[in-house]
Amino acid sequence: MTRVLDHVGIAVRSIQEALPFYQEALGLSTFHDEELSSQKVRVAFLKAGETSLELLEPTSDDGPVGKFLKSRGPGLHHLAFRVEDIRGDMLRLSSQGRAPLETQPRPGARSHQVCFLHPKHAQGVLVELVEGHGR
């Protein structure tokens, strides 16, 4: 089993203000953007070779990314790994005592099914599992 790093999530106050560095300094380009109203966040994906960066801008202070920014400031928010059977992985992790934060997969960006694993399992890093290969 090879795990692929699907994307790296970065919390930002403003996608518009963050983009010039990633585009002009690093030469990355945006291939998708979307608002996830259920998560009170707007996201922009930039291609970075085989993986991507996901810039996350809160649309409200009381959503998960809004709260993250308030307590930690902008920066690394999560690592997302691609999986083929998210429900199977969620069961496997639960049986290991590493139950995901969600009990069921939920819709994420790009029409993928996602869940998150508590940072305590990964040395302080929030980990997302992503099922689906659509861009």
Question: Which chain residues interact with Co ion by CB under 5 A?
Answer: 9, 54, 80, 128
In a 10 Å sphere around its CB, with 0-12 CB exposed, 13-18 middle and 19+ buried, how is residue 86 labelled? Answer: buried
Nearer to Co ion, 9 or 100 (CB): 9
Least spacing, CB of residue 35 vs Co ion, in Å: 14
Closest approach, Cβ 12 to Co ion, in A, equals 13
Task: Between 57 and 128, name the residue whose CB sits nearer to Co ion.
Answer: 128
Strand locations in 12-61 (E): 29-36, 41-48, 51-58
Round to whole Å and give the CA distance between 131 and 129.
Answer: 7
Task: Give the containing element (helix H, strand E) for 71.
Answer: helix 64-72
Q: How far is the CB of 128 from Co ion (least distance, A)?
A: 5
Give the nearer residue to Co ion in terms of CB position, either 97 or 124.
124
Question: Is 19 or 52 the residue whose CB approaches Co ion more closely?
Answer: 52
At 92, which helix (H) or strand (E)?
helix 86-95
Number of H helices, E strands in the chain: 3, 8
For the bound state, the minimum distance from the C-beta of residue 63 to Co ion, rounded and expressed in Å, comes to: 14
